[in-house]
Structure 1
Amino acid sequence: MAQDSEDLVSDYQFWLQKLSVWEQASSKETQQDTCLYLSRFQEFLRRMYEILKEMGLLSYVLSAFRFDMKEVGLFTKSLGFEPIDYYPSLLKNMVLSLVSELRESHLNGLNTQSRMAPEHIMSLSQVCVPLVTLPDFEPLVEALLTYHGHEPQEVLSPEFFEAANEAFLSKKIILSTSSVVSLWFRHFPSLEKATLHLFEKLFSSKRNCLRGMECCIKESLLPQAACHPAIFRIVDEMFRSVLLETDGAPEVLAALQVFTLCLAEALEKENKQLKFALKTYFPYGAPSLTAALSQHPEAIPQGHRLQPLLHISQLLREAIEDSTHGSQRGPFESWFLFVHFGGWVDLAMEQLLRKEAEPPAGLLWLLVFYYSPQDGSQQRERSMVALKELLNRLLMLLGSGPLSAVDLQEAAESPSPPICAQLVRCLLLSLLLWTPEGHASAREAITRMVHTDAAAHEIVGFLDQTLFRSDHLCDEASRKLARELLQELQAQV
């Protein structure tokens, strides 16, 4: 290592002379010489930068702990090392020593004599604020984030949490899941910023498919963190705000439902269902309703899906009717709980398209409530009557020979009173995709439905959702048709 230092000093003298020559002459020979040596000069500058960076860092860290760089230099020279050679090892050993001390302090618990003082940990976290993106400091950042003392107050500085969160979100540092969860649990402003960061990624493109949303959500680590109810409640409140601000935009509903699926998967992986009651995740919903909705719809056999759907419809209806005499918050809370679990809506649509049975009133109510939650009870009853008439006409067309796109369009435009246009479109699309009779006229019928960009995006969303949940909704022929239609429409919008 001493030899390296001597080489650097020698190189330094060499380049000083070279620079002096280059500066004083501008001949052709000088230009050629510059070109010849330029790459070597760049390498020399890179080496100088690395050494100076190590000395900036050490001086900063040591001064925070009241050490003197001159004393360190004298000590290392007495060992036969040049300071320039010892800096990298000293920095690495210092980080490892601090990590060990933090872990021992964490394990010592209430043994105050063997623990780091809270003010020392606070000082250490402040020292690390400008250093969190440096690879050498990753172990120390991790150790600080996962350190849990027994002090009543937080022992890490808010600036440290903010710096670590920003570095993680911008992918300038790699942190373990446990340290990220600890960061968000201990500093809610960082959690809020992480959630907003996820929203920006999810909603920045209208063509963000559900598989893409799923990857983005899992990569964010928010579902894993949301296994803790306190974190889930904050993320869920932010979803609620976006839903209200966008008046229930389909892409926001889709993102919420995908996030809920990712959370359920994380809960199963962590086996935390027994640790926290569902009431702690959804405090405003009736426990019986929450328990019914949290079942996996796709796990229910084909012939046994009607009964749980009717049970959910009854529980929702009871919750809304009970709330009409009290707070107006109730109907929205019931709807907000319901929309987390969108798979039940798909199953309700599937059951209504079964030709062998009269459409159950409970399923009609469930769909009308999902698509028009703001309606009062009388308006909802009228919509149920109109939806039943439309459904009967569609099923009659389905059983009377080849489907005509014109007949389907006329049937969809005839309900009186009018039904929510989105519900009508979803019913038509379901019939076209999920029934063998609808496949032949699907292209023509969908072309007639695409009047505006908004309608086109809505249909693209429906097709994407069908493929996302297709394993338990439709057969391979329906999936193939949905993929083809989705590709054709995406090329147009």
Structure 2
Amino acid sequence: MTQLQPLMQLQQTAEPLLKVQEMQFWLDKAVAWGQADRPDTQKDTCLHLRRLRDFLQQLLTHINNMSSTTETMKRLPFLGQFLGRLCWNPYVSADAISRRLMFQCLWGLYSEHPGNAVERKANQWIQKVLCQLATEEEDTAAQALMKHTGVPSKEYHLKVLRKRVALLQQNIGKSCRSLGDINQRCSCDSILATSEACAPLVTCPEAAPLIGAMLQQPVTCVRATLSEHFLEALSSAYASQCLSLEEQTVVSLWHHNLSSLEEAVLSLLECLPNRTSTPQRLEQNVAQSLLPKASAQHISIFLVVNDIFRSILKQTEGTQSVKYLIQSFTSCFLRELAQLKHQTSVPTKAFFPQSPQSLLVPLLTLPSEMPQEAWRHHLNWLSGSLQRLTEEEEEGDGDSSSSTRGHRKVFEAWFLLVQCAHWVQVAVQLLVTLGPDDCGPLLWLLTFYHHPTNRGHHRELQLVQARDVLDCLHSLFLVLAPPLPADRLQALVARLSPQPQQPSLSPSLILNLLVNFAVFFQRPLSASPDILQAVVDGSGLVEEAACVLSSLELRLNEASCLSSDANRVHLRIKALQNTLTHMHAASSPAENQAHAL
């Protein structure tokens, strides 16, 4: 350690970006890693890779702030030793991010017009290191640097790495031998060590065959386990898009590492509808992910994903954006499952073990799979079945065990309804055209969808409120000429601004009814945009209404819920979307000014 003492003599005030102790720590690490090639050294390298990247980024900033290579070497005399040791360490240089940062550091040290012997010697050393560090001819950073230095492209390190991967791959892929002979060693013993050695290489493209082979290796005995460090490194690299894996390899990773599957599901939450996204974009993101396809192929993955959605739905208390996510995933999943219908023997009900089995097939059946004339009867049956479940829950409130079971059954029924919300969409569509005396079951179904936990007088109160909203919308859309009745408009605006501590309808329920009336009510189009604009503008829910309209359009296209006058419906949707777009554009300058203040 005495040879490194000059480094400690640096004045910390001369180096505001780097701490002397930190530089000493990483130089000690680089020396230690280069002096031994043991499993514990490999493990230590893997554990420190993320912190090393951060330090290399700080080092790069420091180099770029210096006026010359000479000044840099005066400030950090052991910088060359540090970078050189890292470049010759295959566990560090195989990491794509670390390799790129080292390239950039070398680029910062290279003098295009060397002014003294120090800079000329540094250039020669950089040329030598580049021969080792360059791993791919496509690497733009390496090519740019080689163009200026005149170093020929070499694949020495690439060949060494490929040879190392090939040797590691020989340790796997063999079936577990019979252990009849006590002196015979099981071939699975080497899998753990191999995965440990592969942990620092997970971002290296050349290691992809080895990674895939290990993940897809059949588990024939308890010894065929993979290193947790390897799985965590792989999961982290895949989540940060630092490596590309084949579909089957990703699925195998999810089987081995539950946290990687959870990360994949939670990443979809980042796509939830907001100011810059729509339900269509959310559905596109879900469809482009591997989760629906993997869930259809592997029931164990679906059950885990479903449990995560179930938990999120409870935590968010049925937030509409979370419902959109669950509906999009279930829709994509059911399409993938339909394509595998003749390739799998797993019954559909096995994917939904906690759902009420009597409701499973009726809810999973798509509206397009039965005549439109049967929709109302089907929905009335669903509504009646759900009502009986809630009544059983209320009757069991006196018995704690029965109450718990009842709550769980009602929640699972509601969760299934959220997953199969295409029937809720049909119910809202029919509420627009039915008379007030025929809407009871459908209105109950809609209220239950938006208020599943309300029991007793709250549910009755909300049913009365929902009927009032329905009557108000009927009277508004029956107006054939202006002016629109101001009292009715104000009543809807007030409903969309619920008072705290008072039982009230969900704004999403009212917006769904409002948008569906604007789209499906059998009256000329002229009044619909005016009513929608007046109510939405008064309540300030322009973006929420646009989201409801976008979701309606998506479900109509997917589930074939359109009536015979499809062209008229599409024209209405486009006209209403234009109205909401103009409203949003008109409000944007005021919003921007408020944010600026």
What CA deviation, in whole Å up to 9, does each residue of 1:404-440 have, x standing for no partner?
644651564699x964443223212210122352632
Partner of 1:341: 420
SS in 2 for 1:225: helix
Question: Hey, what's the Cα distance between the residues in 2 that align with 1:441 and 1:481?
Answer: 11
Partner of 1:322: 392
Shift of 1:245: 2.8
Gaps of 5+ in 2: 1-68, 74-110, 136-153, 397-401, 496-502, 589-597
Shift of 1:371: 1.4
Question: Hey, what's the Cα distance between the residues in 2 that align with 1:452 and 1:141?
Answer: 58
What CA deviation, in whole Å up to 9, does each residue of 1:3-60 have, x standing for no partner?
xxxxxxxxxxxxxxxx99xx9xxxxxxx99449xx9xx98994773352477xxxxxx
Does residue 125 of structure 1 match 2:125? no
Decide whether aligned partners of structure 1 residues 302 and 188 sit closer, same or farther in structure 2, where only a CA change above 3 A counts: same
**In the alignment, which of 215, 219, 236 is matched to residue 284 of structure 2?**
215
Partner of 1:440: 526
Partner of 1:77: none
Shift of 1:461: 1.5
SS in 2 for 1:156: coil
Question: Hey, what's the Cα distance between the residues in 2 that align with 1:453 and 1:393?
Answer: 16
- Superposition pairs for residues 271-420 of structure 1, below 5 Å? 271=341, 275-324=345-394, 325=396, 326=402, 327=404, 328-355=407-434, 358-399=437-478, 401-402=480-481, 405-406=484-485, 408-409=488-489, 412=492, 419-420=505-506
Shift of 1:300: 3.6
Decide whether aligned partners of structure 1 residues 444 and 452 sit closer, same or farther in structure 2, where only a CA change above 3 A counts: closer
Contact 2:477 2:527 in 1 (8 A): no
Question: Hey, what's the Cα distance between the residues in 2 that align with 1:320 and 1:154?
Answer: 49
Shift of 1:110: 6.2
Contact 1:96 1:139 in 2 (8 A): no
- Superposition pairs for residues 221-240 of structure 1, below 5 Å? 221-227=290-296, 228-240=298-310
Counterpart of 1:350, as a letter, is Q
Counterpart of 1:123, as a letter, is A
SS in 1 for 2:276: coil
Shift of 1:378: 3.7
**In the alignment, which of 127, 132, 153 is matched to residue 51 of structure 1?**
132
| Aligned sequence identity (%) | 26
Question: Hey, what's the Cα distance between the residues in 2 that align with 1:45 and 1:288?
Answer: 72
Decide whether aligned partners of structure 1 residues 464 and 85 sit closer, same or farther in structure 2, where only a CA change above 3 A counts: closer
Shift of 1:456: 2.6
Decide whether aligned partners of structure 1 residues 240 and 488 sit closer, same or farther in structure 2, where only a CA change above 3 A counts: farther
Counterpart of 2:132, as a letter, is I
Partner of 2:245: 175
SS in 1 for 2:245: coil
Does residue 91 of structure 1 match 2:191? no
Partner of 2:63: none
Question: Hey, what's the Cα distance between the residues in 1 that align with 2:256 and 2:546?
Answer: 40
Contact 1:467 1:482 in 2 (8 A): no
SS in 1 for 2:318: coil
What CA deviation, in whole Å up to 9, does each residue of 1:211-235 have, x standing for no partner?
2212322333222232333322322
Question: Hey, what's the Cα distance between the residues in 2 that align with 1:263 and 1:127?
Answer: 37
TM-score by length of 1: 0.76
What CA deviation, in whole Å up to 9, does each residue of 1:301-325 have, x standing for no partner?
4333212212221222222223331
TM-score by length of 2: 0.63
Decide whether aligned partners of structure 1 residues 110 and 361 sit closer, same or farther in structure 2, where only a CA change above 3 A counts: farther
Partner of 2:47: none
Contact 1:181 1:225 in 2 (8 A): yes
Question: Hey, what's the Cα distance between the residues in 1 that align with 2:282 and 2:448?
Answer: 26
Question: Hey, what's the Cα distance between the residues in 2 that align with 1:251 and 1:451?
Answer: 21
Question: Hey, what's the Cα distance between the residues in 2 that align with 1:323 and 1:97?
Answer: 63
**In the alignment, which of 149, 152, 157 is matched to residue 222 of structure 2?**
152
Question: Hey, what's the Cα distance between the residues in 1 that align with 2:123 and 2:436?
Answer: 80
Partner of 1:195: 265
Number of aligned residues: 431
Contact 2:216 2:249 in 1 (8 A): yes
SS in 1 for 2:438: coil
Does residue 484 of structure 1 match 2:548? no
Partner of 1:28: none
Contact 1:460 1:489 in 2 (8 A): no
Decide whether aligned partners of structure 1 residues 322 and 50 sit closer, same or farther in structure 2, where only a CA change above 3 A counts: farther
Counterpart of 2:489, as a letter, is Q
Question: Hey, what's the Cα distance between the residues in 1 that align with 2:466 and 2:157?
Answer: 76
Shift of 1:140: 0.9
- Superposition pairs for residues 463-482 of structure 1, below 5 Å? 463-471=549-557, 472-473=561-562, 475-482=569-576
Counterpart of 1:375, as a letter, is N
Contact 1:310 1:363 in 2 (8 A): yes
Decide whether aligned partners of structure 1 residues 153 and 409 sit closer, same or farther in structure 2, where only a CA change above 3 A counts: farther
Contact 1:278 1:287 in 2 (8 A): no
Contact 2:477 2:523 in 1 (8 A): yes
What CA deviation, in whole Å up to 9, does each residue of 1:318-348 have, x standing for no partner?
2222333122333222212211112111100
Counterpart of 2:305, as a letter, is V
SS in 1 for 2:248: helix
Question: Hey, what's the Cα distance between the residues in 2 that align with 1:476 and 1:212?
Answer: 19
Contact 1:250 1:458 in 2 (8 A): no
Question: Hey, what's the Cα distance between the residues in 1 that align with 2:243 and 2:484?
Answer: 55
Contact 1:433 1:478 in 2 (8 A): yes
Question: Hey, what's the Cα distance between the residues in 2 that align with 1:207 and 1:439?
Answer: 28
Counterpart of 1:254, as a letter, is Y
Counterpart of 1:366, as a letter, is L
Question: Hey, what's the Cα distance between the residues in 2 that align with 1:274 and 1:344?
Answer: 27
Decide whether aligned partners of structure 1 residues 184 and 153 sit closer, same or farther in structure 2, where only a CA change above 3 A counts: farther
Counterpart of 1:391, as a letter, is L
Question: Hey, what's the Cα distance between the residues in 2 that align with 1:259 and 1:348?
Answer: 21
Contact 2:172 2:190 in 1 (8 A): no
Shift of 1:94: 4.4
Shift of 1:238: 2.4
Question: Which piece of structure 1 moves more, 225-234 or 268-277?
Answer: 268-277
